A and B are shown apart, each in its own frame.
Chain A
Amino acid sequence: MSLAEPAALPVAAPAPPRLHIATRFAARFNASLPAYLLLLPSLIFLALFTYGAMGRVLIDALYQRATPKAPLRFVGLDNITAVLADPAFTGAVINNLIYAIGTAIPSIGLALLFALALARTNAVTSALRAALFLPVLIPMVAASALFLFIFLPNVGLLDYYIGRLLPVLPNWLGDPDIALYAIMIITVWKNAGYYMLFFLAGLQAVPEDVMEAAHLDGAGPFMRLRYIILPELKPTFLFVIVIATLNAVTQVDHVFVMTKGGPSNATNLVLFYIYQQAVEHYDIGKASAATLLTLAALMGLTALSFRTMANREGGA
């Protein structure tokens, strides 16, 4: 009976204007247009030389190149199986694995030593850093020209100074058992100074108070290295290992200048094999198959590198 206020009727909120999906899409596209135009120049070149090239490798790997006798024809996975059955390719893969491990470990170890020794900044350490960094800047071809003489049998620098102490003078680049290790020396010489930079940067992240506390607790230099510094440098290690592995597959200029993959394929690396198939044997199918296999192998690794980089971004 009381004149209760009539309950407010729920009023439907006015429906948002229902636009046709195409209209909405057009609106969104129009709003995005300036960005697309800015990205267009980059995307054209990426489309050609990254995505296009990738697609091209996939297609080329499935075809047998046309010869004067036979037309271009689809061969499915034949190129891949041919490459996998080619002892030159499997040999190059094994060489590349030895080369990758044998260059990564010494150059990373030396880089860490250099960074720890040169972390303190003064005129002396700056000069030493510069000395160690110089090889990073010069072309691999130039480094190879210098090391050609260093490894020259009998009269070369190595034999002139050290070889005299050995019972037999080794033929550094001519002996299939030694040549791969000889070219590895150049790589370590060239890359250690580069990786040193990342360790120097990584050392900045080591907290001073923790170091000081450990010092007060009586932890010696090796304890501090083992339990504080090395754990702090873990992201740097991961990152540098990835870079070193990529370098081992992509830096082959010294093979071209010094050994051409010889003697008897002892210094043949994967990228040199790809080059040989494409340029010397005109076998695009096989070259593409080898490229594809190598890219696939590196994909997982680069995925890891992105996670490492993402981790580093917080610190940088």
Chain B
Amino acid sequence: MKLIDALYKDAPLATRNEITPKLGFALTVLLALAWLIPFLWMGVATLRPASDGINLMAELMPSLKPTLDNIRDAWEIGDFPRYFLNTTIICTGILLVQFFTVTLAGFAFARLDFAGKSLIFYLFLMQLMLVPVLLIVPNLRIVAQFGLYDTLAGVMMPFFASAFGTFLMRQAFEAIPTELEDAALIDGASLIQRIRHIYVPLSIPSFSAFAIISVTSHWNDFLWPLMVINSPDKRPLTVGLSVFTATAEGTQAWGTIAAGTLMVIAPLLITFLIFQKRFISSFVTSGIK
């Protein structure tokens, strides 16, 4: 994790601020502001009263008579509490099973020697190679064969094993000194007890990095739940928002769309703003794999 800590120090080449001429920096500032415009519009449009009319809808100056009507409307049209609940169930369910599977598999790769180790290791690597998103058609058929079509369990199941998580935990476990385990071994601790009381508690930062990546990606997932879920009351946030947007778009209710979007993205954005450093370091980790 040295690399990640370094991210929060000045890059060596920037210490004299000369490699980024003022022009580049000014351009970046302008673009960063432009990057925020969709969010700014979302906030302003959410609070804009319907009396402002469609012609003022794009105005980025906030209305002087802000209203919560749009939020109320969005709340009434879309079943957002239900969508929240479904997404929370999906993300939590996936994460809990993943914690179990990646801990055990990560430990096996980190600390045990066994016949066929490299072959099985490549089998895990294959999951990263095969780009799971593209396997939606066969996976839908497999989920249906299990009788899990149109269930939240069906949405979760393909993600219960995670090659990325396994490799992340393997790295974390390899960094733990074997002396600790030896001491526990002398005390007569079983394999599972050693994992549970030595490896897991000492790898909390890796678990939390993995949790951030797992929850963010499944919170935002759309295509797969769209295919598995049929009943309106089982929709996750993303699918619910797309149906809601399609409905409101027809009635030109852009303030309501803005309010609905705000409600969907607020939880992750607030969590990010609180744990910014953790999020960013987790995302760097996820890229390194």
Contact = CB atoms under 8 A, between A and B. Distances in A.
A238 interface: no
A274 B224 CA distance: 13
A161 B241 contact: no
B157 interface: yes
Contacts of A206: 11-13
A28 B134 contact: no
Interface string B57-90: 1111000000000000000000000000000000
A291 B137 contact: yes
B220 A302 contact: no
Interface residues of B, number: 117
A53 B112 contact: no
Interface string B107-118: 110001111110
Contacts of B138: 52-54, 56-57, 60, 288, 291
A246 B138 CA distance: 20
Contact of B133 (A134, A250, A278): A250
B135 A229 contact: no
A139 B7 contact: no
B95 interface: no
A279 interface: yes
Contact of B134 (A45, A201, A271, A309): A271
Interface string A5-41: 0000000000000000000000011011011101101
Contacts of B264: 139, 142
A46 B161 contact: yes
A32 B115 contact: yes
Contact of A145 (B130, B226, B261, B279): B261
Interface string A122-162: 00001011111111111111111111111010011101110
Interface of A is mostly: helix
A200 interface: yes
Contacts of A302: 128-129, 131
B96 interface: no
Contact of B38 (A146, A208, A316): A146
A35 B237 contact: no
Interface in B217-242: 219-223, 226-227, 237-239, 241-242
Contacts, number: 337
Contacts of A28: 115
Contacts of B265: 137-139, 142
Interface string B3-47: 110111111111111111100110111011101111101100100
A303 B129 contact: yes
Contacts of B223: 252-253, 256, 271, 275
B57 A51 contact: no
Given A46-B127, A160-B59, A316-B3, A148 B249 contact: yes
Nearest to A194: B283
Given A225-B19, A274-B136, 7 more contacts: A29-B115, A35-B114, A50-B135, A57-B137, A120-B17, A130-B276, A155-B58
Q: Closest 8 interchain pairs by CB?
A: A32-B114, A160-B58, A208-B12, A45-B161, A119-B14, A56-B138, A119-B11, A35-B114
Interface of A: 28-29, 31-32, 34-36, 38-39, 41-46, 48-54, 56-57, 60, 110, 113-114, 116-121, 126, 128-150, 152, 155-157, 159-161, 189, 193-194, 197-198, 200-201, 203-204, 206-208, 211, 215, 221, 224-225, 228-229, 239, 243, 246, 249-250, 252-253, 256-257, 271, 274-275, 278-279, 284, 287-288, 291, 294-295, 298-299, 302-303, 306, 309, 312-313, 315-316
30 contacts: A32-B112, A38-B104, A42-B105, A42-B124, A46-B123, A46-B127, A46-B161, A110-B31, A114-B28, A116-B19, A117-B20, A120-B17, A131-B36, A132-B32, A134-B269, A135-B38, A138-B220, A139-B238, A140-B220, A160-B59, A201-B284, A206-B12, A250-B131, A253-B238, A257-B242, A271-B223, A274-B134, A291-B134, A291-B137, A299-B129
Interface of B: 3-4, 6-21, 24-25, 27-29, 31-33, 35-39, 41-42, 45, 54-55, 57-60, 100-102, 104-105, 107-108, 112-117, 120, 123-142, 157-158, 160-163, 166, 191, 216, 219-223, 226-227, 237-239, 241-242, 245-246, 249, 254, 257-258, 260-261, 264-265, 268-269, 272-273, 276, 279-280, 283-284, 287-289
